[in-house]
Amino acid sequence: METVKQLASEKAAVIFTKSSCCICHSVKTLFYELGASPAIHELDRYANGRDMEWALRNLGCNPALPAVFIGGKYVGSSKDIISYHVDGSLKQMLKDAKAIWF
């Protein structure tokens, strides 16, 4: 769990994903299109990825992936991120965390 918490706060925006997840890919693409450069952690590429996925669940991430952290705080999964984007608050969250500048 400590590894996940440490990774989640390493940059202004952090996304935990799996390389084969199309929804995860869509969330990553949205962040790039907004001008953010998030830290991406594809759990299927980590030897302890399954343990990290369980740690995310224990932190309240449900579903566990994609798990998006902004400013070191869990903000949600794909459904939440799309909702924040539609209502305009995602961009403000990224600005407040200094993940984007405009």
pLDDT grade for 83, boundaries at 50, 70 and 90: very high
- pLDDT, tens digit, for every residue of 54-79? 999 998 898 889 999 999 999 999 99
Is pLDDT at 2 greater than 80 in this prediction? yes
Rounded distance between C-alpha atoms, residue 6 and residue 84, angstroms:
24
- When pLDDT is averaged across residues 3-32 and rounded to a whole number, the result is 95
Other Cβ atoms closer than 10 A to 31: 22
- 40 and 32 in contact (C-beta within 8 Å)? no
Rounded distance between C-alpha atoms, residue 32 and residue 50, angstroms:
26
pLDDT grade for 1, boundaries at 50, 70 and 90: confident
Domain 4-97 has CATH 3.40.30.10: yes
Rounded distance between C-alpha atoms, residue 75 and residue 84, angstroms:
9
Does the global pTM surpass 0.85?
yes
- When pLDDT is averaged across residues 97-102 and rounded to a whole number, the result is 93
